[in-house]
Amino acid sequence: MRQRSVILFLLAFFALSSLVFAAEDSHQGTHEHVNLGEILSLYSTIPFIGILLSIALLPLFTPEFWHHHFGKVSAFWATAIAIPLIVAHKGVALHSFLDILIADYIPFIILLWGLFTISGGILLRGSLRGTPIVNTIMIIIGTILASWMGTTGAAMLLIRPFLRANSYRKNRAFMVVFFIFLVANIGGALTPVGDPPLFLGFLHGVPFFWTFHILPHMLVAALILLAIYFVVDTYYYRREVHSNEMDEGDKKPLSLVGGYNFIFLAGVIGSVIWSGLVNWGEVNTFGVVRSIQEWARDGFIILMGILSLVFTASQIREDNEFTWFPIKEVAYLFAGIFITMTPCLLLLLAGSKGALGFIIGTVKEPFHYFWVTGVLSSFLDNAPTYLTFFTSALGNFYPSTPEPIAVSRLISENPTYLMAVSAGAVFFGANTYIGNAPNFMVRSIAEEAGTPMPSFFGYMLKYSIVFLVPVFIIVTIIFF
Amino acid sequence: MKISKMLFVSEFEELWLDALQSLMGLRKAGLNHVVFLHVIHREKVAMKRGTGYLKQEERKLREIADIRFIDWAETLFEEGMEVGAHIVIGNTVPKILSVTEDEGVDLIVTARRKRGKLEELYAGSETSDLLRRTVKPVLIYNYLSQSGKVGENPFERLLLGLDWSVSSERVLDYVLALKGAVKRVDIIHVLSEKAIGKLSKKEAQKLEREHKKRLNEVCDVLTQERFDARPHLYIGNTEEQIEKGASEHRVTMIVLGTRSKSVWKERWSGSVSHALAERSELPILVVPAETK
């Protein structure tokens, strides 16, 4: 069995490699000083599509296999593109991979690790009585917090108190679903620490506070969803409350434990903002030029995470049921995602000269960007989807222009496109359990606590299509 | 101190019924109640990217543990023991601590436990974590070889390591409570080579005499209680000398005390008992400080 898997792996690997090789052969000899984006073939995007589809489908259909082999799946797709490209284009390809790993992957994972570690040290004990008003207020607080401690952090902080408060209620599934909509997704739209795609934008030159431009979009979506939630919750509450009153003894005053972690959280946010404001010069690492303040920011975030680990009692993390598994999974998967994404981004940056020119030709209007980024973010990971269409917008308006200049011109001349990509990537993550990492974490915690959650398709059919899609149509009509 | 209730933690990969049966010698020391604990790691059933929480898998794992515990319990019932069982979802150490507190056990029996590399980096192994956080004695019990062979009576010949601290006194009390289950006790104290090196020959001889005297006093206490006790003074690295002593005197278990230390302090200055618990091939009984 094991032998057969190895043989299958090697066959698939060589088949893919030969596809890429065949396409690159015609360009042999021209790899010195070439723009890879202009010569790479469409085949070079197969590993990227493959890894995204693997992440979307394998956990659904072969959960056991996925749980034990996700690292190998990621490594397979990464090597399937990295080896042939480096053999064919040597230094140019190697530099592209190093660039994305050093400039994007490392800071991206460090930020996620920092936020995950620090927010895992904050625990909200006690329980309120889950009335429609209390529930709505909790969701509002979560929505606000999400932009400042990350959607994962806010969702993990509040989901257990939210479930405890409503443990006496009969209909709870819709509550958790709206919690996912708002706290685990839409709430993270305002800052680069709110949701991973926005941090990727920040790493590529979008100013920290620029994302506040999505505030009107977020307010419209959040207010409509909150109003719907309040109405639905009130309807069920009135039907249930007389038959299922919460035991007074179950109510315990809320108390925040590990609150000092908010200081470390402020340190993380402060360091991200600060790194976008100062200029300490640049340093060359393995041929990749990166600013010193970015390295300093990464170091500072690691320091904040370590301080959180040192000062937070292990009891708090245990009560939070904290495990490293989710961040480990993200670290393995994103290493593969970033490597496989490299040719895709190069093709898009080349604009109409690249093999993905047809996307740039098709996706033209802001609402195209909003919906295409969004629909893909619903099923694939929203961070690479964001970067793909962010790059696509740059390729569309400013082909072959150096990225810092192109980003700054996009922000000043065509900001609606960036807003569409940002809002699409963040908002649509709520459409499925796999659209954003905290979605499945919240689902798992709710199910473990005895809340019967809808199935994968039930979630989409009963909730996303009914509530989210109309809201996104309204956002499109108003803003795009 | 008494040993009437024991918590036996098994994940069915490292401690089986034969290990449990080998501990039945403790009945002579008053053991009459065994509580089984099986912790289903949360990662096995929760936080699944595609499927959320695996309720069916949880049910299956509970059922497997249940069947095994019922089988073990029947064996113990035949010997007139009381038996309880807990099958819980979560992380091992906190669950051991909470069941220990709920059940009021006198001894925790568990296997050596490792963690993921990242977690070990900041929290140490699960074994160290448990030893640091519990006030109850812990028996770290491992199979002596890959084939899964256990000694017939691990309490038969003890190597009692003493450093004259408060926790040493507690260890001695605990060994006295094992009367009936233990045949022989080899008492060892290890003098640091470094400390001896700084002294003149006369001072070193004086120090040696003092420690021998203390060892003899402990020996007398044990002999009065009809233990076959013998004192040994070693010089050198404490961990190495204890292992050497265990081998020379062919003991079946090492018994040590441990002081209360924070995780960072422990990682900085080290702990003999924790280090031995991590690597000793013999079962090791660690009696922690009374307060944490």
pLDDT digits 0-9 by tens, B148-183? 566 678 888 999 998 888 788 888 988 998 888 888
Interatomic CA distance for residues B18 and B143, integer angstroms = 10
Number of folded domains in chain A?
1
> Smallest Cβ distance to B91: which of A306, A318, A434?
A318
The pLDDT assigned to A29 comes to 45
Q: What is the interface size between A and B, counted as CB pairs within 8 Å? A: 76
Are B283 and B142 contacting, i.e. CB atoms less than 8 angstroms apart?
A: yes
Q: List the one residue out of B217, B154, B152, B160 whose CA is nearest residue B186.
A: B160
Is A443 in contact with B52 (Cβ distance < 8 A)?
yes
The pLDDT assigned to A222 comes to 97
Measure A408 CA to nearest chain B CA, in Å: 37
> Smallest Cβ distance to A325: which of B47, B123, B133?
B47
**pLDDT beneath 70: ranges in chain A:** 1-34, 241-251
User: Measured between CB atoms, does A381 come within 8 Å of chain B?
Assistant: no
Contacts of B112 (CB under 8 A, 6+ apart): B14, B125, B127, B140, B142, B277, B278
Interatomic CA distance for residues A429 and A185, integer angstroms = 6
Enumerate chain B positions whose Cβ falls within 8 A of a Cβ in A.
Answer: 42-43, 45-55, 89-91, 93-94, 116, 118-119, 122-123, 129, 133, 263-264
The pLDDT assigned to A307 comes to 95
The pLDDT assigned to A13 comes to 54
- Would the pLDDT of B243 be above 80? yes
Is A447 in contact with B47 (Cβ distance < 8 A)?
no
pLDDT digits 0-9 by tens, A144-155? 999 999 999 999
Going by the DSSP 8-state scheme, the letter that residue B23 receives in this structure is G
Are A294 and A111 contacting, i.e. CB atoms less than 8 angstroms apart?
A: no
Tally of CB atoms within 10 A around A474: 13
Tally of CB atoms within 10 A around B8: 26
Q: What is the β-pairing status of strands A288-291 and A282-285?
A: antiparallel
Token representation of residue A470: 């109309």
ipTM, two decimals: 0.71
B264: confidence class by pLDDT, cuts 50, 70, 90:
low
B122: confidence class by pLDDT, cuts 50, 70, 90:
low
Are A327 and A116 contacting, i.e. CB atoms less than 8 angstroms apart?
A: yes
A21 belongs to a structural domain: no
B244: confidence class by pLDDT, cuts 50, 70, 90:
very high
Cα-Cα-Cα-Cα torsion A418, A422, A428, A433, nearest 10 degrees, comes to: 150
Crossing angle, helix A151-165 and helix A106-119, to 10 degrees? 30
Secondary structure class of A114 (helix, strand, coil) = helix
Give A-chain residues touching B121 at CB under 8 angstroms: none
- Would the pLDDT of B262 be above 70? no
Token representation of residue B175: 């060994």
Kindly identify which residue of chain B lies nearest to residue A57, measuring between CA atoms.
B50
A245 belongs to a structural domain: yes
A 181-220 residues inside an 8 A Cβ radius of B: none
A75 belongs to a structural domain: yes
Token representation of residue A316: 């708090």
User: Measured between CB atoms, does A338 come within 8 Å of chain B?
Assistant: no
Cα-Cα-Cα-Cα torsion A462, A468, A471, A477, nearest 10 degrees, comes to: -110
A 32-71 residues inside an 8 A Cβ radius of B: 55, 58-61, 63, 66-67
A6 belongs to a structural domain: no
Angle at B282 between CA B276 and CA B287, to 5 degrees: 55
The pLDDT assigned to B260 comes to 60
Tally of CB atoms within 10 A around A476: 18
Give A-chain residues touching B46 at CB under 8 angstroms: 321, 444-445, 448
Q: Residue range B265-272: average pLDDT? A: 61
Measure A59 CA to nearest chain B CA, in Å: 4
B281: confidence class by pLDDT, cuts 50, 70, 90:
confident
How many angstroms from the chain centroid is the CA of residue B268? 22
- Would the pLDDT of B196 be above 60? yes
Q: Which residue bears the tokens 């929290």?
A: B123
Angle at A169 between CA A168 and CA A175, to 5 degrees: 130
Domain ranges of chain B: 1-111, 149-292
Give A-chain residues touching B131 at CB under 8 angstroms: none
The pLDDT assigned to B274 comes to 78
User: Measured between CB atoms, does A324 come within 8 Å of chain B?
Assistant: yes
Token representation of residue A88: 């064919």
Interatomic CA distance for residues B245 and A163, integer angstroms = 56
Token representation of residue A368: 């195209």
CA distances to A104, A141, A337 from A426, rounded to whole Å, are 19, 18, 18
Ranges of beta strands (E only) in A258-334 are: 282-285, 288-291
CATH of the domain spanning B1-111, picked from 3.50.50.60, 1.20.1370.20, 3.30.70.890, 3.40.50.620:
3.40.50.620
R_g of chain A, CA atoms, integer Å: 23
Tally of CB atoms within 10 A around B90: 15
Q: Is A466 left (phi over 0), alpha (psi -120 to 50) or beta?
A: alpha
The pLDDT assigned to B151 comes to 67
- According to DSSP, the residues that pair with B228 across neighbouring strands are B184
Residue type, B270: G
How many angstroms from the chain centroid is the CA of residue A417? 19
Is B91 in contact with A326 (Cβ distance < 8 A)?
no
The pLDDT assigned to B49 comes to 77
- Would the pLDDT of B37 be above 60? yes
Give the domain range for residue A212: 42-479
Tally of CB atoms within 10 A around A252: 11
Q: Considering Cα of A444, then A445, then A450, then A456, what sign does the dihedral take?
A: negative
Are A190 and A432 contacting, i.e. CB atoms less than 8 angstroms apart?
A: no
Proportion of chain B above pLDDT 70, given as a percent: 87
The pLDDT assigned to A17 comes to 53
User: Measured between CB atoms, does A326 come within 8 Å of chain B?
Assistant: yes
CATH of the domain spanning B149-292, picked from 3.10.20.600, 3.40.1280.10, 3.20.20.140, 3.40.50.620:
3.40.50.620
Kindly identify which residue of chain B lies nearest to residue A305, measuring between CA atoms.
B122
Is A321 in contact with B54 (Cβ distance < 8 A)?
no
Are A348 and A392 contacting, i.e. CB atoms less than 8 angstroms apart?
A: yes
Interatomic CA distance for residues A293 and A273, integer angstroms = 11
Interatomic CA distance for residues B179 and B173, integer angstroms = 10
The pLDDT assigned to A30 comes to 46
- According to DSSP, the residues that pair with B263 across neighbouring strands are none
> Smallest Cβ distance to A310: which of B42, B119, B264?
B264
Kindly identify which residue of chain B lies nearest to residue A308, measuring between CA atoms.
B122
Is A63 in contact with B54 (Cβ distance < 8 A)?
yes
Proportion of chain B above pLDDT 90, given as a percent: 37
